[in-house]
Structure 1
Amino acid sequence: MGREIKFSLVYRDMWQSSGKYQPRVDQLTRIAPVIIDMGCFARVETNGGAFEQVNLMYGENPNKAVREWTAPFNEVGIQTHMLERGLNGLRMNPVPKDVRQLMFKVKCAQGTNISRSFDGLNDARNLELSVKYAKEAGMISQTALCITHSPIHTVDYYVNFADKLVDFGADEFCLKDMAGVGRPAFLGKLTKALKDRHPNIPIEYHGHTGPGFSVASMLEVARAGADYLDAAIEPLSWGMIHPDIITLQAMLKDAGFSVPEVNMKAYMEARALTQEFMDDFLGYFIDPSNKLMNSLLIGCGLPGGMMGSMMADLRGMHSAINMALRNNGKAEVSLNDLVIQLFDEVAYIWPKLGYPPLVTPFSQYTKNIALMNIFSMAQGQPRFSNIDKDSWNMILGKAGQLPGKLDDEIMELAKSKNLEFYTGNPQDEYPDALDSFRKEMDENGWEYGQDDEELFELAMHDRQYRDYKSGLAKERFNAELEKEKEKANAPIISVRPVVEVPNFDVEKVTEKYPNAQPVQTPVSGQVIWQIDLADASTAPVVGTPVKEGDIICFIQAYYGIEEVKALKSGKIVQIETKQGDKVQKNQILAFID
């Protein structure tokens, strides 16, 4: 019998790589015993990433979900693991140091055993505190090497990075092949090099199946000494997700490895339950294209987990890009053509941006720049005419050091805008903040919760937590679900629909915010939001600060683009339109207070 290989079920990431939402806690607790009965998983990925945010968006308590979901696995000795984003914690933007420290204490107390920590730029500085705080809290610290394929991402590059993580005290390595573009032979060499250098540190491989390499990659890393492989189960495997456990178990067993048997009765029950969850409501938010593999991802290196939001972006911008092309006497493009253009544009600009590994949030930033380049060129403007603030922060080093050198064109552009590059430790820019959140909870009469878990949720996801507490989140989700159900059941319409101007309750908004200023469109056309471009399905979030004169959004009119600017400084308190919505002249887009 050969060397033992253990499996981890990435049940959280299966859903995140498929669509917008995760199962509810009642669904998770139903399937947990069935996963245990499958008998083949030493680990289950239970939370982290966007898991807590999704629960808040339902209007439900994420702390209850984590505790009840992890408990059955804890009872039988199956390890649970979470995903956290280093400097960004469980969100898309940097987190103060004291909030990061509290996160590990809370998650360990809730029953999460392992913290998989990654930094999207492979900047070790952003992971030092993750290792420190995870171990202090009593968790296993598993640090991730974000895998990509470029001239600078060599075996030596990753081994040197891993050495720094070991110096911090990391317990394990994860080869996080988030786009599945790691070449199998390369991954085998990297695994062997890591094992030769650090023989006592376990290695877990995580690979998406999008471009089709991952099964071969798993065999290579197993032969080179990997200890754990991440797997999925039908109907949420393959496509942009992960290989199915049945295939991996059979492949490794045939190759002579010692692998656990799969209880097929339990597998089929887990499969059926997962399909039931999709049929219940989760399937309304899953893009069908995420069930397909796509070899075009080999060239651009975009991760499968963001394909859903990317397609939403493209659909939202498609008509605006075509209108700009028409206005400039150029041929229109189909949505498929636009997908290929975006992939090609990402491949073109990626080296110019210093080869950031394309993982959250840097995959979104790179995609945003590429999409706005396509839009700018359709208008007859040069590339890099419109770069959003978060993307500039990546370029300027405020999120960490880029792996490669910025192109001279980008350097000159930053210089022309009088932008300064940052070389310090990114964490230093974000001072402790828990006291301010304690004050807010005290003023509202909110309980800190068991192990300060409610305090943590407010500090990590402040906007979503406030909406959860007010009931707005549940109201918004229920309305969104009803809309998706109506779309799914709607007949196919072959004529152009009439654009109706929504009847907004202005009095209700101004009663709550007496000084609120409406943001109105000066012309009829299509909304292109400037803020929160990373998710084209939504407008800017409530609470976004703006200054007088800031460009809030653009309106794609029949003759070109019109800017919509803030008439006062404040914050957005109400949003009335989504990315890509058709609007009429003087229609209210949002309110600023």
Structure 2
Amino acid sequence: MVKPIKITETILRDAHQSLIATRMTTEQMLPIINKMDQVGYHSVECWGGATFDASLRFLKEDPWDRLRKFRDGFKNTKLQMLFRGQNILGYRPYADDVVEYFVQKSIANGIDIIRIFDCMNDLRNLQTAVNAANKEKGHAQVAMSYTLGDAYTLDYWKDLAKGIEDMGANSICIKDMAGLLLPYKAEELVKELKATVDIPIQLHTHYTSGVASMTYMKAVEAGVDVIDTAMSPFSMGTSQPATEVMVETFKNTPYDTGLDQKLLAEIADYFRPIRDEALDSGLLNPKNLGVNIKTLLYQVPGGMLSNLTSQLESQHASDKYYEVLEEVPKVRKDLGECPLVTPSSQIVGTQAVFNVVTGERYKMVTKETKEILEGKYGATAKPFNPEVQKKCIGDKQPITCRYADMIEDELPEFEKEVAAYKEQDEDVLSYALFPQVATEYFKYRDAQEKKVDVTEGNEEAYPV
């Protein structure tokens, strides 16, 4: 049965993460929330991913406070976040007690839908978060990190989808972080998944390779339930297709979203000056707005390309850019042909830089590369290159169980360490994920509060 297509709006999370390094402030977002709440989106993705780290590190904001303000403003719209499975919003696997507590607090502070993914597509790294979301009566959406390679056949995706449904997820997302999913492949994949599982299917892609709008069209025709889009000022390039364009595309068809273009235009008018300011300041690199066909050649996500560029600049080796691009797929193959998504994309990219800059492959090996080869990040779709594994970890016996099973409860220790700064329960979670960054933020917060205390009742005592 043909149904109207639903829209998840990404401008408050992935769109500005992809284009301006997650630098949009809560203050910039809040004035438009009332209008966004009237649109009738399936959901608004507004939290998780890199927003947590960026809020604390660069914006000196409490991410939990941002979420509560969103919840107050969005009276009619479901709020959605991105969650890295056992890695939560950090870059290493955490103990189950931390994962469970983070899910509990995310839902208590206002999140409705948690999109959970694992950089290896290892379902063992997703189960704790799914169970926790179900326990808290949240919507657990599990994302399949889409990638290409010999291992990633239609049967692979169908088996993965069945496993996701069986583990208790409420919906599935095809997470195409690099814009690799081509239109007719999307049609084929969605049809096969719809025939395999009964839960809804959502599609998330990026415009990096230039095909995303066409991919959405074929996926919608094939029966996908929801697509992720971004308001036009922060769409295209390394972000998502434009919300208004997709709404207009399906207007007066059986897939009509029913969304009001006049209201969307008012929202776009609000964000346009923020985009222009980012362009003028250099925060938004015009290169990120174009099409990069190398994405399809090297399967490197947009954010990873900019990381590689800056790493090479810091090593005074910018001339090695194309060598590194060619090395990335080789390293990926050595590491079990893993999908390239946080944190595996950073790990593979950094190792490729080292391999090229040192002039010898795996002469210099990062701690994280060793940990992948030790099995700490989970099972890969294909076996590791045995020679590379031997060179990097020697005779160390790789882990075959779920690594989190080997991690003792961590919350009690984090509670002790953060006690001096703690003002709310959630502070222990901010500290657990980013100890140094959170501590710096807590000190800043404390200083700001002292300023306020001094000025209270005597505005001239301490000019702020």
Q: TM-score, normalised by structure 2?
A: 0.90
Does residue 465 (structure 1) correspond to residue 441 (structure 2)? The answer is no
Task: Decide which of 371, 390, 395 is 2:368's aligned counterpart.
Answer: 390
**What is the root-mean-square deviation in Å for CA atoms of aligned residues?**
2.2
CA distance in 2, matches of 1:260, 1:341: 48
CA distance in 1, matches of 2:325, 2:169: 35
State the match for 1:361 in structure 2.
343
State the match for 1:412 in structure 2.
390
1:340 deviates by 2.6
For residues 468-516 of structure 1, the C-alpha deviation after alignment (integer angstroms, 9 at most, x for no partner) is: 01129999xxxxxxxxxxxxxxxxxxxxxxxxxxxxxxxxxxxxxxxxx
State the match for 1:271 in structure 2.
268
For residues 139-166 of structure 1, the C-alpha deviation after alignment (integer angstroms, 9 at most, x for no partner) is: 1000001101111111111111122222
Alpha carbons of structure 1 residues 40 and 348: separation in structure 2 relative to 1, 3 Å:
same
Q: Which runs of 5+ in 2 are unaligned?
A: 449-464
Contact 1:119 1:127 in 2 (8 A): yes
The secondary structure found in structure 2 opposite 1:405 is coil
Letter in 2 for 1:107: S
Task: Decide which of 230, 243, 247 is 1:245's aligned counterpart.
Answer: 243
Contact 2:233 2:275 in 1 (8 A): no
CA distance in 1, matches of 2:63, 2:122: 29
For residues 346-389 of structure 1, the C-alpha deviation after alignment (integer angstroms, 9 at most, x for no partner) is: 12332222110000010111111111111022xxxx21211200
Task: Decide which of 289, 309, 326 is 1:344's aligned counterpart.
Answer: 326
Alpha carbons of structure 1 residues 316 and 158: separation in structure 2 relative to 1, 3 Å:
same
Letter in 1 for 2:10: V
Does residue 55 (structure 1) correspond to residue 55 (structure 2)? The answer is yes
Matches within 5 A, 1:554-573: none
Letter in 1 for 2:442: K
Greater displacement, 164-173 / 307-316: 307-316
1:187 deviates by 2.3
Letter in 1 for 2:422: W
Contact 1:60 1:474 in 2 (8 A): no
Alpha carbons of structure 1 residues 408 and 61: separation in structure 2 relative to 1, 3 Å:
closer
CA distance in 2, matches of 1:69, 1:311: 35
Alpha carbons of structure 1 residues 183 and 457: separation in structure 2 relative to 1, 3 Å:
same
1:433 deviates by 1.3
CA distance in 1, matches of 2:214, 2:278: 34
The secondary structure found in structure 2 opposite 1:18 is helix
Matches within 5 A, 1:76-91: 76=76, 78-91=77-90
Contact 1:21 1:285 in 2 (8 A): no
Letter in 1 for 2:388: I
Alpha carbons of structure 1 residues 180 and 255: separation in structure 2 relative to 1, 3 Å:
farther
Alpha carbons of structure 1 residues 338 and 289: separation in structure 2 relative to 1, 3 Å:
farther
**Structure of greater Rg:** 1
The secondary structure found in structure 2 opposite 1:145 is strand
Greater displacement, 288-297 / 278-287: 278-287
Task: Decide which of 411, 418, 421 is 1:434's aligned counterpart.
Answer: 411
Contact 2:47 2:80 in 1 (8 A): yes
Does residue 304 (structure 1) correspond to residue 305 (structure 2)? The answer is no
State the match for 1:10 in structure 2.
10
The secondary structure found in structure 2 opposite 1:386 is coil
Q: TM-score, normalised by structure 1?
A: 0.71
Matches within 5 A, 1:188-337: 188-199=187-198, 201-253=199-251, 256-264=254-262, 266-278=263-275, 283-317=281-315, 319=316, 321=317, 335=318
CA distance in 2, matches of 1:71, 1:7: 21
State the match for 2:167 in structure 1.
168
For residues 411-448 of structure 1, the C-alpha deviation after alignment (integer angstroms, 9 at most, x for no partner) is: 33136x33331112111232211111222343x1633x
Contact 1:87 1:126 in 2 (8 A): yes
CA distance in 2, matches of 1:68, 1:310: 35
For residues 530-587 of structure 1, the C-alpha deviation after alignment (integer angstroms, 9 at most, x for no partner) is: xxxxxxxxxxxxxxxxxxxxxxxxxxxxxxxxxxxxxxxxxxxxxxxxxxxxxxxxxx
State the match for 1:523 in structure 2.
none
Contact 2:244 2:261 in 1 (8 A): no
CA distance in 2, matches of 1:338, 1:36: 47
State the match for 1:45 in structure 2.
45
Alpha carbons of structure 1 residues 446 and 406: separation in structure 2 relative to 1, 3 Å:
closer
Contact 1:468 1:474 in 2 (8 A): no
Q: Count residues with an aligned counterpart.
A: 445
Letter in 1 for 2:348: T
1:226 deviates by 0.7
1:409 deviates by 3.0
Letter in 2 for 1:461: F
Contact 1:19 1:308 in 2 (8 A): no
1:256 deviates by 4.1
For residues 265-286 of structure 1, the C-alpha deviation after alignment (integer angstroms, 9 at most, x for no partner) is: x333333332333455695433
Contact 1:86 1:117 in 2 (8 A): yes
Does residue 376 (structure 1) correspond to residue 358 (structure 2)? The answer is yes
CA distance in 1, matches of 2:447, 2:115: 30
Q: Which has the larger strand fraction?
A: 1
CA distance in 1, matches of 2:369, 2:330: 16
1:300 deviates by 1.3
Q: Which runs of 5+ in 1 are unaligned?
A: 322-334, 476-593
Letter in 2 for 1:455: V
> Per chain length, whose mean CA-contact separation is higher, i.e. which structure has more relative contact order (CA < 8 Å, sep 6+)?
2
Alpha carbons of structure 1 residues 138 and 22: separation in structure 2 relative to 1, 3 Å:
farther
Alpha carbons of structure 1 residues 341 and 453: separation in structure 2 relative to 1, 3 Å:
same
1:253 deviates by 3.2
Letter in 1 for 2:429: F
Contact 2:4 2:254 in 1 (8 A): no
Matches within 5 A, 1:392-541: 392-414=370-392, 417-442=394-419, 444=420, 446-447=422-423, 449=424, 452-471=425-444
CA distance in 1, matches of 2:345, 2:151: 18
Alpha carbons of structure 1 residues 340 and 248: separation in structure 2 relative to 1, 3 Å:
farther
Letter in 1 for 2:165: V
For residues 177-236 of structure 1, the C-alpha deviation after alignment (integer angstroms, 9 at most, x for no partner) is: 00011232222222112211223x111100011112222221122122110000012221
The secondary structure found in structure 2 opposite 1:190 is helix
CA distance in 2, matches of 1:28, 1:60: 13
Letter in 1 for 2:186: L
CA distance in 1, matches of 2:90, 2:151: 28
1:2 deviates by 4.7
Greater displacement, 290-299 / 341-350: 341-350
Contact 2:298 2:326 in 1 (8 A): yes
CA distance in 1, matches of 2:26, 2:312: 32
